Amino acid sequence: SSNRPVVLFVEMDGCIACYFAQKTFKSISEEFPDIIAAKIMKPLFYVSSNFRFKYFPAFLLLAKGEFLDQTEGNNEAKIRGIF
């Protein structure tokens, strides 16, 4: 268990925007070592969640097990904003 916030990158197979967002997500996450950055594939995420997404990739901010914020798409400013 950790009290550190988590940014979860939700991606899916065949998603071109997800592919390009990986590099952006990695570089931004390295700027914020106090935040846990993790990736998960959409089918696995659907099994354990009630969230449904219209667009991919999706980024979720969680803290102490609670949902705080979300953004979707491959936009560097939006991804940075979730951190």
| Range of the structural domain that residue 69 is part of | 9-75
1 falls within a domain: no
How many domains, the chain?
Answer: 1
Consecutive H or E run containing 55: none
Tell me phi and psi for residue 67, to 5 degrees: -75, 130
| Residue 50: CATH number of its domain | 3.40.30.10
8-state DSSP, 54:
S
pLDDT values of the chain reduced to their tens digit, one per residue, 83 residues: 578 999 999 998 889 999 999 999 999 999 999 999 999 887 765 645 566 677 889 999 999 888 899 999 999 999 999 99
Q: Which of 29, 53, 32 is nearest to 41 (CA)?
A: 53
Report in angstroms the alpha-carbon separations of 59 from 64, 78, 79: 17, 9, 7
- Cα–Cα distances (Å) from 43 to 33, 35, 40, 76, in that order, read 28, 24, 9, 24
